[in-house]
């Protein structure tokens, strides 16, 4: 039995869970309103940390409810962290683009993303949510890059030297990279494995993940397609 395993679960869209023997981490926990998520919010187990890439509803998701239930720490940009802690009285850890911090489970670097981060209030007004971001999360010897919502950017070339094990890349187009651009992103980041995300949640971000996998296979980059609810061991 491997001591250092990390279980990665895909909930659909950009929502993932990382689990070790000691820690449970969620990234962009869009659960209850996520049309492709098979897991119910009440089935989410105790969470230690919640990473949020930006202020859009399909990424903040159920973070507040989960954080309140389990007293989890929410990690986000300074602006989004401040908004969430003042508004909802949850504990947060603010970071910012380019910053690295050593958490009890491992080191995290906040990376740039090319997108928005506005928070839509109930009345439809948009609150400034700072910059969107991605995360490089090191845990139990695995380096996982969650790109967040982003267009293709040459900043991703800087990640090639990070030695990323698994890159979670959006492929759904319209709001984020499509398959063509995500292939460039995979080449830029040069990870051991790629898992596509942010597609087929709605018609507007429909993408053929099999085709993405085939294209990556042709350039010798391993691609793993996960169905919502699926777990793999890293």
Can you give the binding site for Mn ion, defined by CB under 5 A? 58, 149
Shortest Cβ 69–Ni ion spacing (Å): 24
Q: Specify burial of residue 189 (Cβ count, 10 A radius: 0-12, 13-18, 19+).
A: buried
Only segment of 3-11, 49-57, 121-129, 191-199 that touches Ni ion (CB under 5 A):
49-57
Nearer to Mn ion, 48 or 58 (CB): 58
Contacts of 124 (CB under 8 A, 6+ apart): none
* Ramachandran bin of 203, using left for φ above 0, alpha for ψ from -120 to 50, beta for the remaining angles: alpha
From 17, 37, 48, 56, residue interacting with Ni ion (rule: CB under 5 A): 56
Only segment of 141-149, 158-166, 180-188, 199-207 that touches Ni ion (CB under 5 A):
141-149
CA distance 148 to 68: 23
Only segment of 61-69, 103-111, 121-129, 143-151 that touches Ni ion (CB under 5 A):
143-151
48 binds, among Ni ion, Mn ion, none (CB under 5 to 8 A by kind): none
Question: Residue 70 gets which letter from DSSP?
Answer: H
* Total chain residues near Ni ion (CB under 5 A): 2
From 19, 28, 149, 178, residue interacting with Ni ion (rule: CB under 5 A): 149
Q: Is 143 in the site for Ni ion (CB under 5 A)?
A: no
Nearer to Mn ion, 24 or 115 (CB): 115
Nearer to Ni ion, 48 or 149 (CB): 149
Quick one: which of 102, 106, 170 has its CA closest to 141? Answer: 106
Q: Are the C-beta atoms of residues 225 and 213 closer than 8 Å to each other?
A: yes
Contacts of 190 (CB under 8 A, 6+ apart): 159, 160, 164, 221
Nearer to Ni ion, 61 or 94 (CB): 61
Nearer to Mn ion, 79 or 149 (CB): 149
Quick one: which of 233, 230, 213, 231 has its CA closest to 222? Answer: 213
Binding site for Ni ion (CB under 5 A): 56, 149
């Amino acid at each position: 039995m491997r001591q250092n395993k990390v279980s990665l679960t895909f909930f659909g869209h950009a929502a993932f869970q990382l689990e070790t023997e000691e820690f449970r981490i969620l990234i962009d926990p869009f659960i209850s309103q996520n049309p492709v998520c098979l897991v119910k919010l009440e089935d989410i187990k105790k969470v230690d940390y919640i990473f949020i890439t930006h202020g859009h509803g399909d990424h903040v998701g159920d973070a507040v409810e989960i954080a309140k239930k389990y007293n989890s720490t929410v990690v986000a940009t300074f602006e989004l962290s401040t908004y969430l802690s003042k508004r909802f009285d949850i504990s947060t850890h603010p970071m910012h683009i380019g910053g690295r911090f050593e958490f009890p489970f491992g080191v995290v670097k906040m990376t740039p993303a090319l997108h928005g981060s506005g928070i839509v209030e109930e009345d439809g007004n948009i609150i400034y949510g700072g910059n969107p971001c991605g995360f490089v999360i090191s845990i139990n010897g695995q380096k996982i890059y969650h790109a967040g919502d982003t267009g293709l950017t040459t900043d991703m070339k800087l990640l090639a030297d990070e030695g990323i094990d698994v890159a979670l890349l959006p492929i759904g187009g319209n709001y984020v990279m499509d398959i063509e651009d995500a292939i460039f992103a995979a080449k830029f980041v040069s990870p051991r494995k790629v898992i596509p995300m942010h597609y087929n949640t709605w018609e507007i971000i429909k993408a053929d993940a099999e085709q993405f996998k085939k294209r990556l296979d042709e350039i010798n980059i391993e691609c793993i397609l996960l169905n919502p609810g699926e777990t793999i061991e890293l």
